[in-house]
């Protein structure tokens, strides 16, 4: 092939006829490849597979982490505002009860009521946390198990 300059030819295209190690298609048939080449290819494929599984797990955990972080921030902000609002209501309730009871009795009744409500909220929150499940990257683990099963099956052939 002529590049336009006299006496110089373009270098041959290395991709033509060469085996791309990143492609999944073999360069030759399995029956003509030596065992050490097959072992090398299996090692490369296993390494790439593990790397892909790690990337999948990272992506899954990052997504779960973002959602958990956003949800936690919103719940925290709501909790702060609720505490401020409750303080105002508690003061009003104690003042109202103090009209018919001694001040100490009104404060004791209001405090006991708040502790009862807090206990109920804590039990409800614990139940929700149990329903949330574990933060384990389940999809990555499932595909890894499937990959291992396929590899075991092909090795035993």
> What pLDDT, in 10s, does the model give residues 7-61?
444 444 444 444 444 555 555 555 677 888 888 888 898 889 889 988 988 888 8
Residue with tokens 């899954």: 60
Give the pLDDT confidence score for residue 79 in this predicted structure. Answer: 93
pLDDT of residue 28: 52
Q: What is the pLDDT of residues 57-97, one digit of tens each?
A: 888 888 888 888 888 899 999 999 999 998 998 999 999 99
Q: For residue range 94-109, what is the model confidence (pLDDT) as tens digits?
A: 999 999 999 999 999 9
Give the per-residue pLDDT at 9: 47
Domains of the chain, residue spans:
35-155
At 121 the pLDDT is 93
Nearest in space to 44 (alpha carbons), one of 21, 28, 17, 67: 21
| CB distance 86 to 114 below 8 Å | yes
């Amino acid at each position: 092939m002529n590049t336009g300059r006299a006496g110089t030819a373009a270098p041959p295209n290395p991709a033509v006829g060469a085996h791309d190690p990143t492609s999944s298609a073999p360069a030759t048939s399995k029956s003509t490849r030596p065992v050490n080449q097959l072992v090398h290819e299996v090692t490369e494929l296993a390494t790439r597979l593990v790397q892909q599984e790690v990337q999948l797990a990272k992506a899954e955990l990052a997504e779960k982490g973002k959602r958990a972080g956003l949800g936690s921030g919103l719940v925290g902000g709501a909790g702060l505002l609720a505490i401020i609002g409750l303080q105002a209501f508690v003061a009003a309730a104690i003042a109202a009860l103090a009209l018919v009871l001694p001040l100490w009795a009104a404060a004791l009744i209001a405090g006991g009521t708040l502790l009862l409500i807090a206990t109920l909220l804590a039990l409800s929150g614990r139940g929700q946390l149990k329903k949330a499940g574990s933060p384990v990257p389940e999809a990555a683990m499932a595909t890894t198990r499937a990959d291992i099963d396929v590899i075991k099956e092909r090795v035993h052939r």
